[in-house]
Structure 1
């Protein structure tokens, strides 16, 4: 209520508060850099739209998304059936959109001068449930007697789900005596500060920290291959290449600002993937996404 002076009387006029428009995003730390880039660039022309982007891991983000707490959920794996069931129970209808390709990167300390490549069998030996490997010379006799310390995503992470499925044969199957975090920057710091370390996370975090950590080539049966834009794009970096997603609440898509943001995200998908440190999709895949959201315009 605002007081307005009028000769001979005082008049009170209702004044509508200026509200900030918010598009809340949460979920995968892997997809985080892409969504942050999208939010920052979008806000250059839409400064009244607030777009907070959180990191709670793919699973943590899905928990919030499924009960309608967020408009968009970043995900480094597809939504699970049980997560879709929770969304359905809460009346949350959604659209899955692929936004980039990633090459999950296995890394070691920069001073590690003995390992250049590991086979998927050796990764399984190290990371499988019940593994007692705690020294590099247990992986290969030619490796030195150096204590091995492991760093990896927590159980709410889509990266954790993907890695354990591909390397250990079952999603969630892993040794438990490693240092976990949903924040990949924490894992980077752990590996960078520990000579005997090994960790894994999304390609963007390796690219951003090449001066601190060293990537390990992976032999999935066809020879040693390092993650790069080319090997991720042609899937020769196997089996650790994967798509990245955002999930959008269809009810939120009916809001003009959400629709415009998601449209911007897809129209600039390749550029945003590059800004985030990942590999863009073929344009036809972004066009498919734009067609999927067009009915909410």
Structure 2
């Protein structure tokens, strides 16, 4: 596979390369051949991660790292994990495979059954998932690695709508809700919605229900669900009356193709556009944290997993994350993450 340079010297931006990779079905990064001989034993991570430099170039002190690291989970977190895996593999003889399965799909089918080392999640792990992991002897360790401005988008020709409240979004997306744009505002077209969104295995799906529809709610059944956020973009492009929602990174890469809707939390609130700055300040009402979960046993027993995690947590504070379209972690949060990681060094 062609390696992506960190400065984009191949003529394609890192963000465009990685987000575009989702169109090909979110393949494991680099198309690497899985190495079944993942090494185990005491971790060779640097341990004192708090003093690591922001670029995290060492990724651990082990000089003879080998084996594999398996990363599953959120399509929102996927571009971050894929970018970091790509750069990590340029300096280490380790195969890091990254697949987009959805947050819940990753927990349910891969991470909690013990078949993945790391799971990306666009919402916190659920109690039921913690129990599933426990039933299988897997102990998840949580790290927040970025923040996102979840984005609602419409077709570029939808000039009638610029801002929506949580209540209006709920009317559109809840079961037996509004059927036409004019049901929301009589001045809007008397045309049916064409809706695209994440599948039920997605953390974005869960976050939207809990924060917009209501904890006991659900999404209407007549929208097109998918784990491929690029498919949502394509659906919105294809219809003047379409709408969808996804992580901000996918909007950043498609600013010319779809129109982002400003959001206000209630009818009297201020309309705020999705942006890295507004997510960082807390002004954007659909800002949310992004996580990765590592299996405690993988951190303690697999040197390459500990090394990759140390590299990941350092990179999460850098411009790499903002170039993709998310808010990087603060230095303080990075140090907290590295301190937590050190507890599982296996030493």
Q: Same fold (TM over 0.5)?
A: yes
Within 5 A, what are the aligned runs for 1:96-245? 96-131=142-177, 133-170=178-215, 173-221=218-266, 222-238=269-285, 240-245=286-291
Identify the match of residue 74 of structure 1 among 96, 120, 145: 120
Moved over 4 A (4+): 17-20
Structure 1 residue 283 and structure 2 residue 331: aligned? yes
Q: CA deviation at 1:18?
A: 8.4
Q: CA deviation at 1:173?
A: 1.4
- Computing the radius of gyration from Cα coordinates, the structure with the larger value is 1
Rounded to whole Å, the distance in 2 between the matches of 1:25 and 1:187 is: 23
Q: Larger strand proportion, structure 1 or 2?
A: 1
Q: CA deviation at 1:94?
A: 2.2
Encode CA deviations 1:224-255: one digit per residue, 9 max, x unaligned.
Answer: 001111110011111x1110000001111121
Structure-2 residue corresponding to 1:7: none
Rounded to whole Å, the distance in 1 between the matches of 2:83 and 2:321 is: 9
Rounded to whole Å, the distance in 2 between the matches of 1:94 and 1:252 is: 10
**Unmatched 5+ stretches in structure 2:** 1-35, 39-65
TM-score (norm: length of structure 1): 0.90
Structure-2 residue corresponding to 1:5: none
Decide which moves more: 148-157 or 136-145. Answer: 136-145
What secondary structure, in the 3-state scheme, does the structure 2 residue paired with 1:77 have? coil
Structure-1 residue corresponding to 2:340: 292
Structure 1 residue 92 and structure 2 residue 138: aligned? yes
Rounded to whole Å, the distance in 2 between the matches of 1:191 and 1:223 is: 25
Rounded to whole Å, the distance in 1 between the matches of 2:277 and 2:289 is: 15
Rounded to whole Å, the distance in 2 between the matches of 1:211 and 1:196 is: 17
Number of aligned residue pairs: give it.
278
TM-score (norm: length of structure 2): 0.77
| Greater RCO, 1 or 2 (C-alpha within 8 Å, sep 6+) | 2
Rounded to whole Å, the distance in 2 between the matches of 1:73 and 1:51 is: 13
Rounded to whole Å, the distance in 1 between the matches of 2:217 and 2:170 is: 13
| Gap change, CA 1:172 and 1:270, over 3 Å in 2 | farther
**Unmatched 5+ stretches in structure 1:** 1-16
Identify the match of residue 49 of structure 1 among 91, 94, 98: 94
Rounded to whole Å, the distance in 1 between the matches of 2:82 and 2:180 is: 38
User: Is this contact kept in 2: 1:33–1:276, CA < 8 A?
Assistant: yes
| Gap change, CA 1:51 and 1:57, over 3 Å in 2 | same
Encode CA deviations 1:144-195: one digit per residue, 9 max, x unaligned.
Answer: 2333201111111100000011111125512111010011111111111111
Decide which moves more: 209-218 or 163-172. Answer: 163-172
Decide which moves more: 181-190 or 70-79. Answer: 181-190
